[in-house]
Amino acid sequence: MPYFVYVLLCENGAYYTGYTRDIEERMRQHKHGIGSRYVRIHRPRKVVYIEELETRRQAMKREREIKQLSHEEKRKMARVFERKTSTKRVMKIPV
């Protein structure tokens, strides 16, 4: 079963990065204020990036890499992801 690294755009304009095995369940948790304290306080607006990885180790490493990016670099990454996925059928995950 794969792992997913995801980035949320929060109401305060900040990006939140996390990883999970079950992306749909994790988004449900974020939506209901369960789990991450940060996302509970700064409500999520939308998912702006998702990446599928094979192992937990890879997911944790990628999460760390993304967290080290600047706000502008995360914004660019989200735009590229949006362009790539806008022309494809992708899993829509409500937040």
Instruction: Report yes or no on 59 lying in a domain.
Output: yes
Instruction: Report yes or no on 94 lying in a domain.
Output: no
Which helix (H) or strand (E) covers residue 15, if one does?
strand 15-20
Query: In angstroms, what CA-CA distances link 33 with 7, 11, 27, 49, 87?
Result: 16, 13, 10, 20, 31
Q: What is the pLDDT of residues 9-31, one digit of tens each?
A: 999 999 999 999 999 999 999 99
Q: Does the pLDDT at position 94 exceed 60?
A: no
Q: Which domain holds residue 11?
A: 3-86
User: Residues for the chain: how many in total?
Assistant: 95
Instruction: Report yes or no on 47 lying in a domain.
Output: yes
Instruction: Report yes or no on 43 lying in a domain.
Output: yes
User: For residue 38, what is the domain's CATH number?
Assistant: 3.40.1440.10
Q: What is the pLDDT of residue 95?
A: 58
Structurally, how many domains does the chain consist of?
1
Q: What is the pLDDT of residue 87?
A: 59
Q: pTM for the whole thing?
A: 0.88
Q: What is the pLDDT of residues 37-85, one digit of tens each?
A: 999 999 999 999 999 999 999 999 999 999 999 999 999 999 999 888 8
Instruction: Report yes or no on 93 lying in a domain.
Output: no
Instruction: Report yes or no on 92 lying in a domain.
Output: no
